[in-house]
Every structure is written in structure tokens, then in C-alpha cells.
Amino acid sequence: MEWLVNLIAVIVALVSVLAALGHVGYLAMLNNAAGKRAGGAPVAQYVRSRWAVAGGTTAASLFAWLLTSGGTGLDIVAMILAAGSGAVATKALQSTRDRYRTGG
């Protein structure tokens, strides 16, 4: 039974890491595009303001993944931490995407 809890914790942590890295990647892409475009200063400023959230969720997700190497109690803590940081990263990514969505 312990292996099942650990497996679930690892999967939740990996999904959380992917969500956080997706947010970091999207911000990096926006920042790169803003730097190449005239008038991209407002976008670059917005991206700079979002790096703390992206870094924090990535760090929390990676820490949760690290916690999965402990016992069952740490697996439960890792699942809670990973689910929270993954949810924040996903919401932040969606918010950024909605703000700069173009086309239809």
C-alpha cells in the first residue's frame, strides 16, 4: 500500500513540476518576443512582475518532488504541496495566456 501512495505522490509532483515549468517557459517566450518588438516594454514589465510567482511555484513543485523520497507521511505532504503549487502555476499561466491571447 505504501508504494501506491508513493506512486501517486510522484505522479502529482511530476504534473506539478510540468505545470510550473510550463508557466516559466511561457513567460520566457513572452519576454523574448517583447524584447524583439518595438513597444514591447509593457509586456516585458508584466513578465518581470510574474517571475516571482513562476519561480516560487517551480521551487515548491521541485521540493514536493524531493519529499516523495521519504515515507508515507512525507508523500502526503508532498501531494498537498504539489497540488497547491501546481494549481497556482496553472492559474497563473492561464491568466497570462488570457491577457495576451491573440487571434481566434
pLDDT tens digits along 19-60: 999 999 999 999 999 999 888 899 999 999 999 999 999 999
Q: What is the pLDDT of residue 102?
A: 72
Is pLDDT at 64 greater than 80 in this prediction? Answer: yes
Q: What is the pLDDT of residue 103?
A: 58
Comparing CA positions, the residue from 89, 101, 104 lying closest to residue 43 is 101
Number of domains in the chain: 1
Whether 92 contacts 57, CB under 8 Å: yes
Residue 58 is assigned to a structural domain of this protein: yes
Residue 36 is assigned to a structural domain of this protein: no
Q: Which domain holds residue 58?
A: 2-15+51-99
On whether the pTM is more than 0.85, the answer is yes
Residue 24 is assigned to a structural domain of this protein: no
Is pLDDT at 104 greater than 90 in this prediction? Answer: no
